[in-house]
Amino acid sequence: MKSLFERLRSRRLASAFLVLAALTAAILTGSFAAHGVRGQEQQQQNSSTDAAPLKIVNSAIAPNEFVKIAHEVAPAVVNINTQTLPKQSDNHGRRNFHFRNQPDQQNPGDDGDDDDQGQGEDNFQDFFNRFFGGQVPGQPDQGDNGGQVQESLGSGFIVDSKGYIITNEHVIEKADRIYVKLSTDPDTQDLGRPARVIGVDKATDLAVIKIDANTPLPIVKMGNSDESQVGDWVEAIGSPFALAQTVTAGIISAKNRTIDQGAPGQFQHFIQTDAAINPGNSGGPLLDMNGNVIGVNTAIYTQSAGYEGIGFAMPSNTVVSVYNDLIGPGHKVVRGSIGIQFREGLSSAVNRVYGFKNGVLVQEVQPGGPADKAGMKPGDIIVTIDGRPVKDGDDLVNEIASRKPGSTINLGFLRDGKQQDTTITIGDRDKVFAELAGNQPQANPETSGDPSETKLGLVVRDLSQTVVGRIHTSGVEIESVRTGSFADLQGLEPGLVITHVNRQPTATKDQFEAEVSKLKTGDDVVFEVVDPHHPEEGINYIGGTL
């Protein structure tokens, strides 16, 4: 028999168990009930039977001016791709013939001061002129292409329906092949249509190239950059980072900006804008709100290799003047010079001691140059040009450079405080430069030499008796072909023999040059060509439109 104590303890445990069981049941029942309610609520929330479908509403807002300009001008803006071929280790071959207006080295400052050329804070060239369109990010420098073809990109715009295009010189600089893609061309792996160089002007970083077209191409209209004002809205179109037909907008931030000091910047006075422009925009148009081109996007100021709100465009008035010269018979810009040098930014103390407020203090006079022949000396202070006051050195340079060599100009100057004047016959700036440097002018394949070299981009010579005996006919042998020229694009190569031009025999070099001299832009040109190494193949007919 259990004791009283054991019976009481058994009763307590039983009661506790009953209470625990009751609590557990209550909790489980509540939990089920709660979960059942939540499930019903979730089901109601996921129901979409009362949701209305979305609809697209046509906007009644009329297109703004930026939209209209982009639609109107974009078809005339092109994407320019260039290729630089692997360089040979020797100095032979076609690739040594570059379409350049001046040698690589900088010329000494004409009618200006170049003592600090290549100097200055971080050298402005690091930030400016060679940034756009030169190198695709991540590719090695073109100067050392490691034996592989290097590609770069830029922009341009068509100004003549026959296929004449304006771009920057640095976009096509050192290029062995140039291709142009229109907005209407198929978006394939093809780089575009082959282009040839018409002319370049390093002083303004401008170039004219041409593509062949079977039908008239869309063109832009050139505006008057002198009429543009700081604060005006502008629009830029180009191919930044190979993204063709990219449109950005901003305002004109400033005008008449010079970013290179001394001789390199004498003819580069830019429109500054905050319209976003980046690598690949170079050579594209800067447009006003009438859709007219008022500048060619050329450079940016950057410390990050990208857009930072400061871009520069060459004014359209300068562009038009350069273009008209480049499409002329000489395919070059001829600028005047009087053969002096001067220093910009003189202190006010110099002005006071020498007794002038506005004018240009002559630092050097080239011996035998135009100014020297007219009697000018170092220390003279030029104060007037043809009777009007001289503002500064830029004013003097621009005025003289715009005059044709052989024309005259009257300069008023101070010497020892006394007013004098002289009439000077203006010289050719390139020749004056060469003489100032103590060198003869270097031959320019675009603008000098025989007609065949100037117009076609090739040099020929009379045949040797060995070649005549091999091909049993007369003609001229191609000695060299300039890369990117008309002859290059037609496939002509050194060593081939040209027997006829437009069905006229070219038995000698003189006959060949006489026939080529008759050709003009837009003419059809057909060569009858024989390969001396494979004379059995007979005559090949090669031609195109000049």
d(CA 491, CA 484): 11
| Pair 151, 136: CB distance under 8 Å | yes
Q: Can you spell out the DSSP letters for 178-227?
A: EEEE-TTS--SS---EEEEEEEEETTTTEEEEEE--SSPPP--EE--GGG
User: Among the options 111, 114, 176, 205, which is catalytic?
Assistant: 205
Give the tokens for residue 484: 């990117």
- CA-to-CA dists, residue 290 to 70, 233, 294, angstroms: 11, 10, 10
Residue 170 known to be catalytic: yes
Does the annotation count 35 as an active-site position?
A: no
Tokens of 455: 């117009």
d(CA 316, CA 298): 12
Q: Which candidate in 113, 152, 170, 239 is catalytic?
A: 170
* 428 close to 391: Cβ distance less than 8 angstroms: no
Alpha carbon separation from 486 to 134, 198, 215, 454, 526 (Å, rounded): 24, 9, 20, 10, 12
Per-residue tokens: 400: 């003289």
Tell me how long the chain is. 546
Query: Which tokens belong to 275?
Result: 């319209």
The residues that bridge with 82 in the sheet, in sequence order, are 152, 178
Distance of CA 526 to the CA centre of its chain: 32
Contact between 497 and 529 under an 8 Å Cβ cutoff? The reply is yes
How far is it, in rounded angstroms, from Cα 358 to Cα 378?
Answer: 17
126 is catalytic: no
CA gap 349, 444 in Å, rounded: 44
What is the rounded end-to-end Cα distance, in angstroms, of the chain? 131
In sequence order, which residues have a C-beta less than 8 Å from that of residue 152 and are 6 or more positions away? Answer: 81, 82, 84, 133, 134, 135, 136, 139, 142, 171, 175
H-only helix segments in 75-180: 169-172
Tell me which of 152, 282, 316, 480 is the catalytic residue: 282
**Quick one: tokens of 250?**
């901003």
The 10 Å Cβ neighbour count of residue 388 is 10
The token pair at 532 is: 């001396």
What residues are labeled active site? 170, 205, 282
